[in-house]
Chain A
Amino acid sequence: MKRLLRSYRLSKLSGRLLIYSFLILGGLVSFFPFAWMVSTSFKTPAQALSLPIRWIPNPLTWENYQSVWARFNFARYFTNTMIISVSVTVLSVVFCSLAGYAFAKKRFWGRELIFNLLLATITIPGAVLMTPLFIIILKLGMLNKFLGIIIPFCVGVSNIFLMRQYISTIPSELEEAARIDGAGELTIWWRIIVPLSVPAAATVAIFSFVGAWDGFLWPLIVLKNKEMWTLNVALGLLQSEYIASEASPWGILMAGSLVVTLPLVVMFLLLQRYFMRGLVIGAVKG
């Protein structure tokens, strides 16, 4: 009996060892490309091409970052991307909260119909919208303007859904009490619903920000003027000609990639809780 228990423990231990090795391997595969990105971005052009491969750059140079920021105008693109992402985030939170509140708490004719219609639009692929949306933006005079990026994508149906799910868990007595006290509808939303739905709003804000920051195809179509580019558009368009024209383009390209990625990674590390919750709300419970 004692021996059996010991062999059971041993097999359990080796099982755990196997689990940890696979996990660490997976973690390394996830992380290793980023390490290479950082390493390359601090190398001089000659070093980036020299063999054998060195992980720690020597000498370590900031030059790639300086040229990305100034010569390649990423300072400007960073500002552009920030303006677009913050605007999308603010509009998204406000509009989705308002709509989510109405769909969760209000009774009105056509509520289910409209909501289900909106949910059905989730299956529309972006490729379908590409051409006609371009024409609409052109006609509205939004081509080459931030508005052309911000307005079409500031309302996500899944965000309305998320807000509705969360707000419907807030007890209605609170609104009723406020209504009896003579509060107007907008006041009730602002003073009661908004403060009580902060976690859902935070999730919506984060995913809207990330979505706007990460957008590529649509800004590529709308922002033709170089001055208006976002970071992703700049990186996506500059890379191919730069690779073709430079013998050693990768130091600068990796510095550029890091500039695009780092804000999102920092945000994620600070706000992990909301990310994880957002993913799980969307998928498991519905």
Chain B
Amino acid sequence: MSSLRRLGIALYREARYNYIPYLFILPALSILTIFLIVPALQAFRMSFYDWKLLGTSTFIGLKNYLDFLSYPNVLLSVKNTLYFAALNVPGTVAAALFFAILLNNDIRGRHWFRVLFYLPVISSDVAVALLWKWLYWAGEIGILNNLLKTVGLPPQDWLGNPQLAMPAVVFLSIWKGMGTYVIIFLAGLQSIPPDLYEAGRIDGAGAWATFRHLTLPLLRPITLLVVLLLTISSLQVFTPIFVMTGGGPANSTITIAFYIYNLAFSQGRYGLASAVSYVLFAAILAITVIQRRILGQEVTY
């Protein structure tokens, strides 16, 4: 009771004599509350309802979550999303780390390489997805197949083959996302003191040993941060799917975000969509927590 009273007094003092800071954070805080925190909580509530946009919504308990297991394609979308993440995260990390390490040498025109690698990042998602749809175009007129032909390989129906469609989308995603992480890794590499490399060289460490025992451990915190950011964004992949494959062929590229969009805005299953989204949220939270454990320190964005 007394602590509650103290709180009351503190709040009164703040309101009376120190209200200005609250005015400063008011616009940002109210927008984030109305358009971020409230809807996030609302989604949780909706996931227990058969939610109707118009008319009365009925409480149905856990039915949406149970439907999760039986509704067509839900589990498939989860599987596809995990497949996307399993290819995209290591692929992007490896590519970005590779180019960052190359750029960390005394490279002439380093700046322009960074610019070049960042070009896909800055480009519109929709536009590059469309561009790659054209690059992957089936038949000889598709430039990729055309290149394959000149080196004597058979053309592929990249986006029309259920086996190839997801890897093809992943390749676009690596190409598009890599630049950001090249820059982040490069900044990390440059913060490693040169004396450490000097010491390694004196001890007779080769290039691989230096990478394995010096660079990699020192980059661990940044690598984990990158893996975390990439995992979160991979689990939410939407635009390339919408533009390039529409979830096809044979549902091989339906992802969770794409599926939720269709559930809500094509089928009007708002409650189920919310339940699926909360499972996604739980997965992201779990990954964040696990990675913080591994990291053993705050992840800052």
Contact = CB atoms under 8 A, between A and B. Distances in A.
Contact of B280 (A125, A131, A157, A275): A125
Interface residues of B, number: 98
A285 B85 CA distance: 26
A73 interface: no
A108 B126 contact: no
Interface in A129-146: 129-136, 138
Contact of A221 (B29, B31, B265): B265
Contact of A121 (B40, B105, B130, B184): B40
Given A19-B102, A131-B277, A185-B20, A27 B301 contact: no
A98 interface: yes
Nearest to B109: A23
B236 A126 contact: yes
A213 B40 CA distance: 24
| Residue from B37, B39, B180 with most neighbouring chain A CB atoms (10 Å) | B39
Given A123-B232, A265-B122, A133 B284 contact: no
A155 B122 CA distance: 20
A49 interface: yes
Contact of B24 (A53, A98, A268): A98
Contacts of A98: 24-25, 27-28
A274 B283 CA distance: 33
Given A128-B281, A279-B180, A109 B11 contact: yes
A213 B123 CA distance: 10
Interface string B276-301: 11101100110010000000001011
A1 interface: no
A152 B132 contact: no
Contacts of A127: 236, 238, 256-257, 260-261, 276-277, 280-281
Interface string A17-39: 00110110011011101101100
Contacts, number: 286
Interface in A208-246: 210, 213-214, 216-217, 221, 231-232, 235-236, 239-240
Contact of A51 (B38, B114, B140): B140
B31 A151 contact: yes
B125 A214 contact: yes
Interface string A141-163: 00000000001111101101100
21 contacts: A15-B207, A20-B107, A23-B99, A33-B120, A33-B175, A99-B28, A106-B21, A107-B18, A119-B301, A121-B36, A127-B236, A127-B281, A131-B273, A132-B42, A152-B31, A235-B124, A261-B123, A268-B122, A280-B183, A283-B187, A286-B301
Given A36-B134, A131-B274, A275-B118, 8 more contacts: A114-B25, A121-B36, A123-B284, A127-B281, A129-B36, A232-B124, A265-B122, A283-B226
